Amino acid sequence: MVKKGLIYGIVFVLTISSTTLHLGSVTEGSYESQSAAFVRSPKPSGLDSLVTAYDHYLQNAVDSLKSPGAAVALVYRGEILLLKGYGVKRAGELDAVDMHTVFRLGSVSKGFASVLTGIIVEEGTVDWNDKVKNYLNTFTMRDTAAANKLTIKHILSQTTGLPEHTYTDMLDNGYEYENIKNALSNVPVIAKPGKIYTYQNVAYSLISDVLYTATGKDYNNLLRDKIFGPLRMQDASTDYATFFYHPNTANPHLSMGSSWKVKPKNSRYYSVSPASGINASASDMANWLLALTGYYPEVLHWKTIEEIAQHAIETPRKAAYRRNWKDLGQTYYGLGWRVFNLNGHDIVYHGGYVEGFRSEIAFDPESKIGIVVLFNSNTPMASQCVPKFINSFLDNCSLPELTPLYTDKL
What is the per-residue pLDDT across 224-253, written as a single tens digit (0 to 9) for each?
Answer: 999 999 999 999 999 999 999 999 999 999
Comparison of pLDDT for 307 and 344, the residue scoring more:
307
The percent of residues in the chain predicted with pLDDT above 90, rounded, is 84
Query: Which pLDDT does position 21 carry in this prediction?
Result: 47
How many of the other CB atoms lie within 10 Å of CB of 227? 22
Mean pLDDT, to the nearest integer, of 341-351?
95
Nearest to 131 by CA among 122, 141, 123, 142: 141
Query: Which pLDDT does position 407 carry in this prediction?
Result: 37
Mean pLDDT, to the nearest integer, of 150-155?
98
Query: Which pLDDT does position 43 carry in this prediction?
Result: 84
Query: Which pLDDT does position 399 carry in this prediction?
Result: 60
Mean pLDDT, to the nearest integer, of 294-318?
97
How far is CA 133 from each of CA 33, 76, 129, 150, 221, rounded to the nearest angstrom? 41, 41, 12, 8, 23
The beta-strand segments (E) located in 294-403 are 313-315, 328-333, 338-342, 345-354, 357-364, 369-375
Among 2-6, 192-196, 283-287, 401-405, where is mean pLDDT lowest?
2-6
Mean pLDDT, to the nearest integer, of 150-167?
98
Q: Answer yes or no: is pLDDT of 6 > 50.
A: no
What's the predicted TM-score (pTM) here?
Answer: 0.90
Q: Answer yes or no: is pLDDT of 29 > 80.
A: no
What SS3 state is found at 222? helix
Domains in the chain, please, with CATH?
4-116+220-409 (3.40.710.10)
Q: Answer yes or no: is pLDDT of 38 > 50.
A: no
Q: What average pLDDT is seen over the chain?
A: 89
Estimate the crossing angle of helix 47-63 against helix 382-396, to 10 degrees: 160
Comparison of pLDDT for 401 and 255, the residue scoring more:
255
